């Protein structure tokens, strides 16, 4: 099959969308499919044998560190030249508009996937009046697709309530070969604790943006001197966070990748996840697969991954002391290790094979509906 993937973000960017995409593309290529990726031009022109067709990109005022590609005729030309069997537009917002427009114009089967709750971000940027407009905008885009994918049952319900059509859940996954407790590294722990490896190390991994509510973690550091914090990632909110955490036992590393990131997870004592705006939170699974207990804000997507008191702790984001109380419970080594064992067992259940195979099945369903393709058996059937 020839598959064109139009995405708002790709390598060298680091986020959950890129992680999911790169894992899926690797799998699709191994199965012999031809993939062309249309993405903002950030200097990457090939990935795992797949062409990355760059569209000129520029900075966006809300995320000055992240370049976006705007709709151009070039997207249509690339699609015409590639002649895909199907187009998958990932998180359509800006470049995705061109992906959807030219897919419809060329009468190509179209899958769209929803990964970011942008309308919810409006509250954090003091623009709540934009939420109805944003929901209308994204609904209009997604409802031009033959099939819409999302990453959790909670988000599926939300999208259907907002009148999105043909919504299915694309299952979660994690690289269980990369993320493992065996990646523990004393040198990494020394780095993340700023030379205090005897302290309990809290870890946050992700983009540094206002909607992530990372500031909440400071309460733990002021409540007790037993904890220190490592913040792995970068983003538009970094300078404000560095000021906020100034004088505390906090290390900012910037983005870490591959083996370094796996070492960071495995060398920490507890993963903290204050955000309530995620559609899934792949970093939760990465932490679990690394044998790391998770303390996360209670939300629909986190409840689908964490069994409170068993493989992690869920705190009530509406109760001010709930987060601090949950993290302080990790001072008990026996309890923390018990949670860590269950977290590891949960994380190891999710490789990337199943969600990648599922994605291919979704593609075949759309092709069969649009073009009368016979279903092709999947690997292992």
The pLDDT of residue 376: 45
Place of tokens 């992906």: 99
Tell me whether residue 71 is exposed, middle or buried, using C-beta atoms within 10 angstroms of its C-beta: 0 to 12, 13 to 18, 19 or more: middle
Question: 210: which 2 tokens?
Answer: 């206002």
Query: Picking from 26-35, 178-187, 277-286, which range would have the lowest pLDDT averaged per residue?
Result: 277-286
Question: Does residue 380 have a pLDDT over 60?
Answer: no
Buried b (16+ CB within 10 A) or exposed e, 115-138: bbbbbbbbeeeeeeeeeeebbebb
Are the CB atoms for 345 and 293 separated by under 8 Å?
A: no
The pLDDT confidence band at residue 372, using thresholds 50, 70 and 90, is low
Place of tokens 């291919």: 360
The pLDDT confidence band at residue 122, using thresholds 50, 70 and 90, is confident
Q: Quote the percentage of the chain above a pLDDT of 70.
A: 96
Query: Picking from 145-159, 266-280, 354-368, which range would have the lowest pLDDT averaged per residue?
Result: 266-280
Domain residue spans in the chain? 2-173+352-371, 181-347
The pLDDT confidence band at residue 22, using thresholds 50, 70 and 90, is very high
Between CA 326 and CA 50 the distance in angstroms is 45
Domain at 181-347, CATH from 3.40.50.2000, 3.40.640.10, 3.40.1280.10, 3.40.50.300: 3.40.50.2000
Are the CB atoms for 268 and 202 separated by under 8 Å?
A: yes
What is the DSSP secondary structure assignment for residue 71, as one 8-state letter? Answer: P
312 has which bridge partners? 308
Strand order, beta sheet including 2-7: 46-47, 50-55, 34-40, 2-7, 86-90, 110-113, 147-150, 167-169
Task: Tell me the pLDDT of the chain averaged across its residues.
Answer: 94
Question: 341: which 2 tokens?
Answer: 């064992």
The pLDDT confidence band at residue 63, using thresholds 50, 70 and 90, is low
Same fold, 2-173+352-371 and 181-347: yes
Q: Quote the percentage of the chain above a pLDDT of 90.
A: 88
Question: pLDDT tens-digit profile of 133-176?
Answer: 999 999 999 999 999 999 999 999 999 999 999 999 999 999 99
Question: pLDDT tens-digit profile of 214-254?
Answer: 999 999 999 999 999 999 999 999 999 999 999 999 999 99
> Taking Cα atoms as reference points, which of 92, 81, 101 lies closest to residue 36?
81
> Taking Cα atoms as reference points, which of 109, 142, 289, 271 lies closest to residue 206?
271
Are the CB atoms for 227 and 327 separated by under 8 Å?
A: yes
pTM of the model: 0.91
Are the CB atoms for 285 and 350 separated by under 8 Å?
A: yes
Between CA 207 and CA 189 the distance in angstroms is 21
Distances (CA, A) of 284 to 227, 302, 334, 343: 20, 8, 21, 10
What is the DSSP secondary structure assignment for residue 249, as one 8-state letter? Answer: S
For domain 2-173+352-371, give the CATH number: 3.40.50.2000
How far apart are the two ends of the chain, measured CA to CA in Å?
18
Higher pLDDT, 380 or 320: 320
């Amino acid at each position: 099959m020839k598959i064109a993937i139009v995405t708002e973000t790709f390598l060298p960017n680091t986020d959950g969308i890129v992680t999911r995409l790169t894992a899926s593309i690797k799998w699709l290529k191994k199965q012999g499919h031809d993939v062309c990726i249309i993405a903002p031009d950030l200097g990457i022109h090939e990935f795992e044998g797949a062409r990355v067709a760059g569209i000129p990109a520029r900075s966006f005022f809300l995320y000055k560190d992240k370049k976006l590609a705007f709709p151009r005729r070039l997207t249509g030309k690339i699609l015409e030249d590639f002649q895909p069997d199907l187009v998958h537009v990932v998180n359509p917002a800006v470049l995705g508009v061109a992906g959807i427009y030219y897919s419809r114009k060329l009468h190509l089967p179209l899958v769209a996937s929803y990964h970011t709750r942008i309308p919810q971000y409006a509250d954090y940027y003091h623009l709540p009046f934009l939420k109805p407009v944003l929901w209308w905008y994204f609904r209009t885009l997604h409802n031009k697709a033959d099939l819409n994918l999302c990453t959790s049952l909670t988000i599926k319900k939300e999208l259907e309530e907002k009148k999105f059509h043909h919504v299915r859940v694309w299952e979660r996954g994690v690289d269980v070969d990369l993320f493992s407790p065996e990646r523990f590294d004393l040198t990494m722990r020394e780095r993340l604790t700023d030379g205090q490896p005897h302290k309990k190390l809290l870890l946050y991994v992700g983009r540094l943006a206002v909607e992530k509510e990372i500031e909440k973690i400071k309460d733990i550091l002021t409540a007790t001197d037993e904890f220190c914090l490592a913040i792995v990632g970068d983003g538009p909110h970094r300078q404000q966070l560095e000021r906020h955490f100034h004088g505390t036992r906090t290390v900012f590393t910037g983005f870490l990748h591959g083996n370094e990131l796996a070492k960071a997870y495995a060398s920490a004592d507890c993963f903290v996840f204050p955000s309530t705006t995620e559609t899934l939170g792949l970093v939760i699974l990465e932490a679990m697969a690394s044998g790391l207990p998770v303390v996360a804000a209670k939300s629909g997507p986190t409840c689908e991954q964490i069994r409170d008191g068993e493989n992690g702790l869920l705190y009530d984001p509406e109760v001010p002391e709930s987060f601090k109380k949950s993290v302080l419970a990790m001072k008990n080594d026996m309890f923390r290790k018990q949670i860590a064992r269950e977290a590891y067992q949960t994380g190891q259940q999710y490789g990337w094979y199943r969600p990648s195979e599922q994605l291919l099945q979704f593609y075949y369903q759309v092709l069969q509906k649009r073009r009368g393709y016979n279903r092709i058996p999947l690997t292992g059937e």
